[in-house]
Amino acid sequence: MGTNDFTQETKMFWEDNYRCWQCQRNNVVDFHHIVHRHNKNDNCESSPLNVAHLCRRCHNLGDLHSHEKQCKYLNRTANYLYSIGYELQEKDFRFLDKYKLEYI
C-alpha cells in the first residue's frame, strides 16, 4: 500500500474490497486522501471517511482533487462504510464538521 497516515484499523475496513473507485478494476493498491492533509496536529483527515480506494494507475493520474471527484469519492466512501456497518468515531465527526459545507 502507498504511504499515508491511515491506521491499520482504518485499512482493515477495505481488506475485502479490491475494486478501484475510479476505473473499477479489481487491483487496488493505494489508499488516497480525498481531502488533502492540512494540519498534522488535527488528524481528522486520516478519518476513514477520507479514504478513496484506488489502483496505482488511477492514483498516479494526478486528476484526483477536482471538487467533482472529491464529492464523488466522499459520497462513495460514506456509502461503503455505511454498507459494512461502520460506526462514526470522534475523528469522523471532526472531519464532517470541518468539511461538511465544502463537500457534503
54 beta partners: 30
Sequence-distant (≥ 6) Cβ neighbours of residue 53 within 8 angstroms: 14, 17, 19, 20, 21, 28, 30, 31, 32
Supply the range of the domain harboring residue 82. Answer: 8-103
pLDDT over threshold 90, residue 93: yes
Neighbours of 18 (CB within 10 A): 13
For the entire predicted model, the pTM comes to 0.83
For residues 11 and 36, is the Cβ–Cβ distance under 8 A?
A: no
3 is a domain residue: no
For residue 17, the Cα-to-chain-centroid distance in whole angstroms is: 13
pLDDT for res 42: 67
Number of domains forming the structure of the chain: 1
37 is a domain residue: yes
47 is a domain residue: yes
Interval 36-58: pLDDT, tens: 876 666 678 889 999 988 888 88
